[in-house]
């Protein structure tokens, strides 16, 4: 789904430039547009040229009976995937944040680098569950929902039964050509995309870069934790809202230096000056840690200069660290947010404003906990919880800080979350006719010494347009006998 792509882009902001032209391809260019292509093939006489599908001279997206002209594009490659954005407006930005800012609708196409230049049969491709996800969407930027399009993961389930995609890229003249045709059982969902012309590429600021093994992005999130003797800095290319989300990023770096070294001095990793360098690769669940005298074959340097309250200039270069001899560098001069990984007591629909939770009351009867959570302060009675924001039922055997979902055993069937007046549980999620239907939900809870810790989720609530609700409360709980 589109939300899945936007979540994944959390880790991809600050893209690398598209770095390699497709080989064995010749283009026919007229007035700055790619109007055709010849592909190198061989017969018994030697090299011949076969003429594939010729791109349309018109740039447009059509879905159902609606047709919109297209005027500009940007493209980039990152971690084996090609990202193409096409806009109905002139001068599309090369900055992901601006493209998805809600100002202008846009087309978003994602496909494996190795398939650029291929004519992809999406119906066949979608049958391979192990294949990388291809995504084709025309998006309403204001609410991040698609007017049209589909992911290869959802191709058949969304009613599509035929389709093709072909993307050509020519680096020399920054030319791109895109053709997509999606056929649905519901003809109103049929989608066509045609674009050929120049495309923009991201630029990298020397004062704002985040390079991992040769792939350069920009720094999009940075955090600091200042102590009396040490300062810790966390830097990532991921576009995240808080430090708790660092583990959602592909990579982040953790740098620690003494307060006495905040004058911009260069710390040699092979020397004796105090430092800590950690590189976290969430894609492989690997953390690389370097400290004085424990750097292996790594070389490099760290420089940190405090330029104001919460502002630092950081330059890091580390080469050949870890068994794989990896390389990392970053340069960032700007503001840092406070590093805080505490979870707020609140609930809400994902990507929307949350509501604080301030009171908790619980009862235990016949092996089943009923937990009331309220946005009101100092509520300590069941009567006071008559208008509780959230009511959760959880079997006592599950109150062990383990995550338990709606589906499963008879005990799982007792797990429920009442939200907005509707009770979500195993039974309600089994019928789309029920007003409390969702894909599912889960609860993680424990009670000890008069305190409760509880996390809860309801996924893809149908009545809310497949939005998900999540929440947390940790603190004092009143147990009512």
pLDDT digits (tens, 9 = 90+) for 39-63: 444 333 333 443 444 445 689 999 9
The reported pLDDT for the residue numbered 171 is: 60
235 in any annotated domain: yes
Q: What is the pLDDT of residues 438-460, one digit of tens each?
A: 888 999 999 999 999 999 999 88
Could you tell me if 60 and 181 lie in one domain? yes
Could you tell me if 189 and 237 lie in one domain? no
pLDDT over 60 (residue 263): yes
pLDDT over 90 (residue 208): no
Could you tell me if 187 and 307 lie in one domain? no
pLDDT over 90 (residue 246): yes
Could you tell me if 65 and 183 lie in one domain? yes
Percent of the chain whose pLDDT exceeds 70: 85
Q: What is the pLDDT of residues 133-165, one digit of tens each?
A: 899 999 988 777 889 999 998 899 899 999 999
The reported pLDDT for the residue numbered 42 is: 37
Q: Per the structure, how many domains does the chain have?
A: 3
For residues 201-207, average pLDDT: 67
Q: How far apart are CA 460 and CA 467, in angstroms?
A: 5
244 in any annotated domain: yes
Could you tell me if 180 and 234 lie in one domain? no
DSSP per-residue codes, 270-287? TSSS--EEEEEETTTTEE
* Tokens describing residue 163: 């389709």
89 in any annotated domain: yes
Banded pLDDT at 6 (limits 50, 70, 90): very low
Could you tell me if 334 and 350 lie in one domain? no
365-402 burial string, b = 16+ CB within 10 Å, else e? eeebbbbbbbbeeebeeeebbeebbbbbbbbeebbeee
pLDDT over 80 (residue 232): yes
Could you tell me if 18 and 117 lie in one domain? yes
Could you tell me if 328 and 186 lie in one domain? no
193 in any annotated domain: yes
Q: Which of 350, 470, 355, 458 is nearest to 4 (CA)?
A: 350
pLDDT over 60 (residue 184): yes
203 in any annotated domain: no
Which of 179, 198, 217 represents a domain boundary (last residue)?
A: 198
Could you tell me if 295 and 430 lie in one domain? no
Least confident of 12-26, 333-347, 370-384: 12-26
Which of 144, 171, 198 represents a domain boundary (last residue)?
A: 198
Could you tell me if 58 and 193 lie in one domain? yes
221 in any annotated domain: yes
Banded pLDDT at 356 (limits 50, 70, 90): very high
180 in any annotated domain: yes
Residue 424 exposed, middle or buried by CB count within 10 Å (0-12, 13-18, 19+): buried
Which of 311, 338, 365 represents a domain boundary (last residue)?
A: 338
The reported pLDDT for the residue numbered 432 is: 56
Banded pLDDT at 205 (limits 50, 70, 90): low
Could you tell me if 445 and 312 lie in one domain? no
Could you tell me if 220 and 93 lie in one domain? no
Do residues 392 and 443 touch, judged by C-beta distance below 8 A? Answer: yes
294 in any annotated domain: yes
- The boundaries of the domain holding residue 162 are 2-198
Q: How far apart are CA 242 and CA 321, in angstroms?
A: 28
Q: Name the average pLDDT for the chain.
A: 85
């Amino acid at each position: 789904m589109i939300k899945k792509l936007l979540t994944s882009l959390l880790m991809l902001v600050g893209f690398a430039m598209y770095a390699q032209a497709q080989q064995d391809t010749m283009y026919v260019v007229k007035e700055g547009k790619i109007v055709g292509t010849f592909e190198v093939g061989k017969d018994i006489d030697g090299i011949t040229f076969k003429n594939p599908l010729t791109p349309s001279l018109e740039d447009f997206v059509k879905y159902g009976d609606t047709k919109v002209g297209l005027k500009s594009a940007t493209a980039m490659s990152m971690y084996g995937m090609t990202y193409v954005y096409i806009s109905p407006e002139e001068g599309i930005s090369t900055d992901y944040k601006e493209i998805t800012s809600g100002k202008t609708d846009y087309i978003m196409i994602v496909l494996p680098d190795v398939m650029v230049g291929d004519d992809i049969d999406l119906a066949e491709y979608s049958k391979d569950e192990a294949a990388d996800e291809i995504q084709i969407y025309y998006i309403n930027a204001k609410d991040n929902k698609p007017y049209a399009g589909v992911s290869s993961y959802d191709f058949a389930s969304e009613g599509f039964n035929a389709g093709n995609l072909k993307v050509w890229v020519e680096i020399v003249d920054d030319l791109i050509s895109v053709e997509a045709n999606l056929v649905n059982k519901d003809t109103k969902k049929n989608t066509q995309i045609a674009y050929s012309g120049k495309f923009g590429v991201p630029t990298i600021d020397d004062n704002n870069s985040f390079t991992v093994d040769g792939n350069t992005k920009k720094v999009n999130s940075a955090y600091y934790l200042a102590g009396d003797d040490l300062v810790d800095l966390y830097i990532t290319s991921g576009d995240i809202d808080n430090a708790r989300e660092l583990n959602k990023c592909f990579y982040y770096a953790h740098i620690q230096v003494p307060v006495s070294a905040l004058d911009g001095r260069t710390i040699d990793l092979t020397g004796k000056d105090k430092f800590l360098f950690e590189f976290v690769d969430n894609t492989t669940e690997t953390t690389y840690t370097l400290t004085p005298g424990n750097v292996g074959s790594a070389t490099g340097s760290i420089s940190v200069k405090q330029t104001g309250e919460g502002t630092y200039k950081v330059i890091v270069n580390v080469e050949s660290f870890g068994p794989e001899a990896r390389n990392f560098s970053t340069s960032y001069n700007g503001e840092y947010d406070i590093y805080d990984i505490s979870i707020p007591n609140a609930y809400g629909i994902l990507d929307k404003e949350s509501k604080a939770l301030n009171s908790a009351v619980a009862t235990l009867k016949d092996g089943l906990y009923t937990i009331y959570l309220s946005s009101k302060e100092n509520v300590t009675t069941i009567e006071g919880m008559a208008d509780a924001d959230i009511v959760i039922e959880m079997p006592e055997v599950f109150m062990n800080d383990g995550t338990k979902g709606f589906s499963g055993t008879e005990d799982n069937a007792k797990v429920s979350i009442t939200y907005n007046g509707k009770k979500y549980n195993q039974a309600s999620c089994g019928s789309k006719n029920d007003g409390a239907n969702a894909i599912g939900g889960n609860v993680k809870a424990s009670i000890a010494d008069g305190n409760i810790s509880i996390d809860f989720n309801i996924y893809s609530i149908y009545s809310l347009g497949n939005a998900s609700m999540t929440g947390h409360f940790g603190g004092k709980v009143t147990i009512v006998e």
